[in-house]
């Protein structure tokens, strides 16, 4: 979740929720670069749903990679959260 946004002397910034889990990159590294098919499918499905949500708001991430996906435990489920919108484009603007 994004809680706030503003601009300071260094530029624009956003204030986001804290996600305790690590990145998908770290998760893959811990598992030798491979995930069981059901886990991989669930993560890809969640990432795709996040991108659909962003695209409906005319926001293009432009830097999707395992290091920009945080993993959050919600009960028994691992939920991917897309982060680092620093290269994102809104509409035709960068």
Active-site positions? 63
What is the Cα–Cα distance from 7 to 65, expressed in whole angstroms? Answer: 26
First and final CA of the chain: distance in angstroms? 22
Are the C-beta atoms of 19 and 72 separated by less than 8 Å? yes
């Amino acid at each position: 979740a994004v809680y706030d946004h503003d601009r300071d002397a260094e530029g624009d910034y956003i204030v986001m929720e804290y996600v305790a889990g690590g990145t998908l990159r770290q998760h893959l590294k811990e598992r030798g670069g491979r995930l069981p098919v059901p886990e991989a499918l669930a993560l890809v499905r969640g990432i795709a749903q996040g991108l659909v949500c962003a695209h409906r708001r005319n926001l293009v991430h432009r830097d999707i990679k395992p290091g920009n996906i945080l993993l959050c435990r919600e009960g028994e489920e691992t939920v991917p959260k897309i982060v680092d919108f620093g290269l994102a484009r809104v509409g035709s603007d960068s």
